[in-house]
């Protein structure tokens, strides 16, 4: 098993405030890794550091290439797509243009992009019905589906999801994790998810990391993590 | 009846120039949230460049195109060299820089082009002899030059809309305008897009300024003051982030200005309302519109469902 993404001693923050204090984690090829963490633990900072959206120090290897100092557009080109927290929808663009926006880095002809857009409309029929509506008029759940489809339009090797369950009804969250699980199981997509909603996330995870105030305090398989008393109390509630 | 048509046509010509300059403002604003106060003077400087080319034997239309190309490169360079470093500090720094650029370009024009203060004679690319016009029913005349200006502006607007709606670059510009973070996360090199926006805006402004100079038959250091004021008002009236709004806002302000200037001549109020109040009247109308629709006629009030 080779690590697709290997992060060693990553420091990042905003201005002089260091949020991440030397974290280590890895995502293996074809696996789902989950970072559990409470508010303020540094989950979003981790995601933004991987995508190159903020200043960071330390080593980030993706498929053996160092991307720890690359700009966001280079990182997308390398094959990492992120669904940011709060979904990051292009609210003034139509649903269809949002998907086209996701394919920005692709050199393909419009035909193959159109084919992929049609495919996503089959996966999410609600989006097809609203293809010419502004994305800002969609419900939270629909926007989250759109955000995932948009990120995958770039044909990434690794998908980053920043708290996809945030602000969604439980039944929608369930549907969402089903979709993510299927993408992993059927298409072999590697995924890194940060979540507070441990129950659902652990169900599709292969590897779990617990992030507390900027450091990884525990890691292991979902069953190992579920046996860890502190983690169980903090995130699973039993 | 003929008079009303006449005022309308005159307003349309002037308004189309406001639209063009307003479009330049909108192109920058929607990408960065910055109002480029120096837009008018940057375009003016480039228009002096067009005058210089023309003075040295280059045909006028080619001179204007050359000036617009230089403006494109220069606008991009200013974004890269001055605006971007300032924006990293604070949005207010950008305001100060653009005000500084306003002064700098006006002074530089005066320094480099002898006679700029009083005005240098500037030709027009459209026929403008005294009898170059269509006679319309009711006695109104539509001058070829006014038609030319309007058509030029409409063509540039159409090209710009095609760029926004039909090309990948345009999609990238709309992405950056709507959500810069998500644009980055989708792989858009946002810095390049901003440079492009500044280049495009300055080039468009230069064509606008050259058209004004053509109508005035001269270009001077004061050419853009009034035009820029009304163009920025037009952009705000239309909603700063809407290209369509800039066009509609510009055309309506031109028409309003023309009516307020001329109409009271044959009206009891001529004592009270006249040419001097035209700009004021335009601003009163803007004030009323903004009271009712704070985001402008076509601007997007950012409402988001969560």
Say what the pLDDT of residue B304 is: 45
User: Is B175's CB within 8 Å of A101's CB?
Assistant: yes
Q: Does residue B271 surpass a pLDDT of 60?
A: no
Residue at A84 is within a domain = yes
Confidence of residue B272 (pLDDT cuts 50, 70, 90): low
Say what the pLDDT of residue A238 is: 62
Chain A residues with CB inside 8 Å of B89's CB? none
Say what the pLDDT of residue B305 is: 46
Q: Which one has a higher pLDDT value, B272 or B229?
A: B229
Buried b (16+ CB within 10 A) or exposed e, A7-28: beebbbbeeeebbbeebebbbb
Say what the pLDDT of residue A233 is: 74
Chain B residues with CB inside 8 Å of A138's CB? 305
For chain B, give the mean pLDDT.
Answer: 89
Most A CBs within 10 A among B90, B179, B182, B299, hence the mutation to make, goes to B182
Nearest-CA residue of chain B relative to A84? Answer: B182
- Per DSSP, what are the bridge partners of residue A190? A158
Interatomic CA distance for residues B98 and B177, integer angstroms? 20
Say what the pLDDT of residue A36 is: 92
Q: Does residue B179 surpass a pLDDT of 80?
A: yes
Say what the pLDDT of residue A107 is: 86
Total structural domains in chain A? 1
Chain B residues with CB inside 8 Å of A91's CB? 178-179, 302, 304
Percent of chain A with pLDDT over 70: 98
Lowest mean pLDDT among A12-16, A85-89, B144-148, B162-166: A12-16
Q: What are phi and psi of B51, to 5 degrees?
A: -60, -45
Which stretches of B121-167 are DSSP H helices? Answer: 144-166
Lowest mean pLDDT among A31-35, B73-77, B300-304: B300-304
User: Is A76's CB within 8 Å of B186's CB?
Assistant: yes
Say what the pLDDT of residue B141 is: 86
Say what the pLDDT of residue A46 is: 95
Q: Where are the domains of chain B?
A: 2-234
Say what the pLDDT of residue B302 is: 55
A175 touches A202 (CB < 8 A)? no
Interatomic CA distance for residues B271 and B209, integer angstroms? 33
Give pLDDT tens digits for B156-166. 999 999 999 89
For residue B47 the two structure tokens come to: 């228009």
Say what the pLDDT of residue B274 is: 60
Say what the pLDDT of residue B239 is: 87
DSSP state for residue B277 in the 8-state scheme? G
Q: What is the CATH number of the domain that holds A213?
A: 3.40.50.300
User: Is A104's CB within 8 Å of B168's CB?
Assistant: yes
Q: Is B301 on the interface with A (CB under 8 A)?
A: no
For residue B189, the SS3 value is: coil
Mean predicted confidence (pLDDT) in A92-96: 93
- Cβ count within 10 A of residue A127: 24
Mean predicted confidence (pLDDT) in B12-40: 91
Interatomic CA distance for residues A37 and A222, integer angstroms? 14
Domain that holds residue A39: 3-88+158-236
Q: Does residue B75 surpass a pLDDT of 80?
A: yes
ipTM: 0.91
B168 touches A57 (CB < 8 A)? no
B228 touches B206 (CB < 8 A)? no
Say what the pLDDT of residue B130 is: 82
Give pLDDT tens digits for A39-78. 888 999 999 999 999 999 999 999 999 999 999 999 999 9
Chain B residues with CB inside 8 Å of A89's CB? 179, 182
As a 3-state breakdown, chain B gives helix, strand, coil percent values, each rounded to 5, of 75, 5, 20
Chain A residues with CB inside 8 Å of B183's CB? 90, 101
User: Is A73's CB within 8 Å of B300's CB?
Assistant: no
Say what the pLDDT of residue B306 is: 43
Q: Calculate how close chain B gets to A84, using CA atoms only, in Å.
A: 8
């Amino acid at each position: 098993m080779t690590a697709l993404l290997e992060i060693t001693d990553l420091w990042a923050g905003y201005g002089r405030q260091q949020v991440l204090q030397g974290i280590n984690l890895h995502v293996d090829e074809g696996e789902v890794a989950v970072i559990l963490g409470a508010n303020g633990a540094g989950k979003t900072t981790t995601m933004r550091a991987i995508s190159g959206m903020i200043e960071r120090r330390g080593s980030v290897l993706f498929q053996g290439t160092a991307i720890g100092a690359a700009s966001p557009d280079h990182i997308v080109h390398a094959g990492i797509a992120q669904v940011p927290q709060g979904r990051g929808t292009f609210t003034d663009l139509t649903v269809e243009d949002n998907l086209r926006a996701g394919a920005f880095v692709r050199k393909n002809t419009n035909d193959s992009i159109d084919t992929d857009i049609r495919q996503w409309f089959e996966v999410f029929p609600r989006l097809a019905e609203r293809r010419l509506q502004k994305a800002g008029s969609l419900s939270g759940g629909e926007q989250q589906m759109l955000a995932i489809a948009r990120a995958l339009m770039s044909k990434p090797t690794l998908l980053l999801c920043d708290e996809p369950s945030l602000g969604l009804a439980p039944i929608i969250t369930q549907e969402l994790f089903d979709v993510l699980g299927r993408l992993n199981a059927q298409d072999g997509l590697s995924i890194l998810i940060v979540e507070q909603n441990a129950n659902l996330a652990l169900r599709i995870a292969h590897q779990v990391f617990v992030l507390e105030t900027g450091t990884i305090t525990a890691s292991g398989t979902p069953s190992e993590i579920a046996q860890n008393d502190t983690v169980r109390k903090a995130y699973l509630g039993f | 009846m003929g008079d009303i048509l006449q005022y309308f046509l005159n307003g349309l010509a002037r308004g189309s120039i406001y639209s063009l300059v307003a479009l330049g403002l909108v192109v920058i604003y929607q990408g960065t949230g910055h109002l480029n106060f120096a837009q008018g003077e940057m375009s003016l400087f480039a228009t002096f460049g067009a005058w210089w080319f023309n003075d040295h034997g280059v045909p006028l239309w080619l001179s204007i195109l050359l000036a617009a190309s230089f403006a494109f490169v220069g606008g991009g360079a200013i974004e890269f060299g001055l605006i971007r470093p300032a924006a990293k500090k604070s949005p207010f720094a950008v305001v100060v820089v653009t005000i500084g650029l306003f002064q700098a370009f006006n002074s530089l024009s005066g320094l480099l082009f002898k006679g700029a203060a009083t005005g240098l004679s500037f030709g027009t690319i459209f026929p403008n002899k005294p009898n170059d016009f269509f006679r319309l029913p009711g006695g109104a005349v539509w001058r070829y030059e006014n038609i030319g200006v309007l058509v030029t502006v409409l063509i540039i607007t159409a090209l710009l809309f095609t760029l926004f709606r039909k090309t990948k670059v345009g999609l990238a510009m709309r992405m950056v305008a709507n959500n810069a973070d998500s644009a980055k996360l989708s792989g858009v090199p946002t810095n390049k897009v901003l440079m492009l926006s500044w280049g495009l805006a300055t080039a468009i402004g230069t064509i606008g300024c050259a058209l004004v100079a053509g109508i005035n038959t001269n270009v001077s250091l004061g050419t853009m003051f009034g035009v820029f004021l009304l163009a920025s008002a037009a952009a705000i009236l239309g909603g700063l982030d809407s290209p369509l709004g800039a066009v509609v806002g510009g055309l309506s302000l031109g028409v309003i200005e023309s009516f307020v200037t001329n109409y009271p001549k044959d009206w009891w109020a001529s004592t009270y309302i006249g040419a001097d109040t035209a700009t004021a009247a335009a601003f009163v109308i803007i004030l009323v519109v903004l009271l009712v629709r704070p985001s402008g006629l076509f601007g997007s009030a950012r409402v988001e469902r969560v």
